[in-house]
A and B are shown apart, each in its own frame.
Chain A
């Protein structure tokens, strides 16, 4: 039990307390987590979070699979922004193999990752609205997320569990329709976003529900390993995109929004502001999209073009060899971090020279900061705990790996 305030021998008091199981399948828990809360009326006295209900043994399976076959495992972790997971993984492997990715592919990746970040933040913020009883905003932005998914579909054919890249670049170039769809999105989305902000930012009821709720200090947040918007809401301007730029993020001009108090309102506002910054990045990347190849000219790991696979025997054999992991990876260990939708997403890969990773560990931001939830909820009311959890953006797939 985290930070218990009641002594167990205080029997008379204990009799008045109620143990409440919030979850594992409660609609307000956004996934399969159980929270055992000790309640004094509406007030939470102590709490414990239990997880692991959908554990899929990601790390164990990854130890048995060649690098390409790990990609579909990664996009099921944080399913709200799966392109970021995929690309983080490819970048890790590229670092291990020493593959240089051309500029055009990097810019294309940036565009896709920022679209994913927008989709992720939209879901988080609009569901926060739902948890406070405002359903309309959710409907507004779900339509916009749909447009983002249409862009994914145009780029790679899949919508939710995307698989749009390759080790060494992208699978295919942006089609003219894809570029047109992104441009259309950049034009259509801001008015909706402004409307969404108008609906919530200064809404009296909404603010009453979330201002000063679930606050965490910068010091505690750092100690708990918070990253991403949750940390920045507490006033720490740590962003992997700026601290250790990957994928040419240093070429773009954007701000890191930070909050002050680390409460639910600040987290909401930081995410909103980050959506605007992502739009800025996409616009810059699209306007300056370099010409040239969209994949690394490295036959060791970049798959032959699909058209060639259908026509040429050598390409087919090579495709098979790469997918089945016939080509050994070099010995080494790599840690690579990207800025995911909800924080620093890190892959720690140890390769012993075989065709599969010897050990793959995934730094899941959700897993690391969700342990702070009982501490943030204790002392508040049950309804406050719900919005706190909602604004933390905990995704069950990532929490349990």
Chain B
């Protein structure tokens, strides 16, 4: 069997899912592409159950916030790993911040459970069909999602911290 490469995986995905695979790039040798929230679970399932690819290890799941991207402000980033082929893959899903809904990957990966809770906790992304979607690191009474960009860490009104005093 020929060595599985990124190109084979991506070609196969494109032939299977067509236009749902977009923005393909390989930053620092890690193949990355985006897809829509409707198709993400199909793609994850396809990669999981594929007899050769076997992307059965969810390394990492986290959120990103791009307040300037209209209609796709919130992102979920999946890092998959195929341990049999030693290939990594990064998949991104963008959703609008007024409808932040992504299907949960807990049916495939038990490790997604807490990681999705964490992403919900910090970004307010709602994972449909998650068994226990509630805050994990922050207190339950919080009514905002702290890692979003509209919550800066420092008080920006402080005059003594203005950049002009430092020659910037």
* CB of B19 within 8 Å of the partner chain: no
Residue of B nearest to A96 (CB): B28
A59 CA / B137 CA spacing, docked (Å):
12
* CB of B14 within 8 Å of the partner chain: no
Instruction: Give the tally of cross-chain contacts (CB within 8 A).
Output: 93
Interface-facing stretch out of B37-45, B96-104, B106-114: B106-114
Q: Which of A215-256 contact B (CB under 8 A)?
A: 220, 222-225, 236, 238, 243-244
* CB of B62 within 8 Å of the partner chain: yes
Chain A residues closer than 8 Å to B137, beta-carbon distance: 51-52, 55, 400-401
Q: Is the CB of B83 within 8 A of A52?
A: no
* CB of A184 within 8 Å of the partner chain: no
* CB of B12 within 8 Å of the partner chain: no
* CB of A346 within 8 Å of the partner chain: yes
A223 CA / B32 CA spacing, docked (Å):
22
Chain A residues closer than 8 Å to B57, beta-carbon distance: 222, 225
* CB of B56 within 8 Å of the partner chain: yes
Q: Is the CB of B153 within 8 A of A224?
A: no
Interface centre among B32, B58, B60, B83 (most CB of A within 10 A): B60
A335 CA / B31 CA spacing, docked (Å):
11
A326 CA / B88 CA spacing, docked (Å):
33
Q: Is the CB of A367 within 8 A of B114?
A: yes
Q: Is the CB of B110 within 8 A of A363?
A: no
A68 CA / B43 CA spacing, docked (Å):
38
* CB of B10 within 8 Å of the partner chain: no
CB distance from A226 to the nearest CB of B (A): 8
Given A51-B137, A334-B27, A335-B79, A61-B113 contact (CB < 8 Å): no
Q: Which of A326-359 contact B (CB under 8 A)?
A: 326, 332-335, 337, 344, 346, 348, 350, 358-359
Chain B residues closer than 8 Å to A59, beta-carbon distance: 122, 147
* CB of B6 within 8 Å of the partner chain: no
Q: Is the CB of B79 within 8 A of A371?
A: no
* CB of A392 within 8 Å of the partner chain: no
Q: Is the CB of A225 within 8 A of B58?
A: yes
Q: Is the CB of B153 within 8 A of A64?
A: yes
Q: Is the CB of A64 within 8 A of B59?
A: no
Q: Is the CB of B147 within 8 A of A371?
A: no
Query: How many residues of chain B are within 8 Å of chain A by beta carbon?
Result: 38
Q: Is the CB of B83 within 8 A of A371?
A: no
Residue of A nearest to B108 (CB): A223
CB distance from A345 to the nearest CB of B (A): 11
A243 CA / B77 CA spacing, docked (Å):
22
CB distance from B90 to the nearest CB of A (A): 7
CB distance from B13 to the nearest CB of A (A): 19
* CB of B36 within 8 Å of the partner chain: no
CB distance from A159 to the nearest CB of B (A): 28
Chain A residues closer than 8 Å to B59, beta-carbon distance: 225, 337, 344, 346, 363
Chain A residues closer than 8 Å to B168, beta-carbon distance: 326
Q: Is the CB of A348 within 8 A of B79?
A: yes
Chain A residues closer than 8 Å to B62, beta-carbon distance: 348, 359, 361
* CB of A57 within 8 Å of the partner chain: yes
* CB of B95 within 8 Å of the partner chain: no
Chain A residues closer than 8 Å to B136, beta-carbon distance: 51-52
7 interchain residue pairs of minimum CB distance: A225-B111, A52-B137, A361-B62, A55-B137, A371-B114, A363-B60, A223-B110
A64-B154, A335-B88, A348-B60 known; 19 other A-B pairs, CB under 8 Å? A52-B138, A64-B152, A64-B153, A96-B28, A222-B56, A222-B57, A224-B110, A225-B58, A225-B111, A326-B168, A333-B27, A334-B27, A335-B30, A368-B111, A368-B114, A368-B115, A369-B111, A371-B110, A371-B113
Interface set of B (CB-CB < 8 Å, partner A): 27-28, 30, 32, 56-60, 62, 64-65, 77, 79, 83, 86, 88, 90, 109-111, 113-115, 118, 122, 135-139, 146-147, 152-154, 166, 168
